[in-house]
Amino acid sequence: MRSEDTDLASLPEDNETLKTLLRSLLLERDQQTKRANDLHVENLRLQLELERYRKLYYGPRADRLRSTGDLA
């Protein structure tokens, strides 16, 4: 017997319990998607802030810096 068959066999038989299980899984997925989106936006914000600090610290030369190795 395959693992997938065992997993399916352990699912509840009644529709209401299956619907409740499905709702909780969809809610969990939506929360994880929102968290991933929030982290992505925060990452972009931090990258922008870093670029601003580079320009403040290095001045016009900051536009020519392409990597952290250029800073050394």
| 71 close to 64: Cβ distance less than 8 angstroms | no
Q: Give tens-digit pLDDT for 17-71.
A: 999 999 999 999 999 999 999 999 999 999 999 989 988 888 877 667 666 565 5
How far apart CA 9 and CA 30 sit, in angstroms, is: 26
Is the whole model's pTM more than 0.85, yes or no? no
Rounded-to-integer distance, Cα 8 and Cα 28, Å: 20
Token output for 20: 């409740």
Domains of the chain, residue spans: 15-71
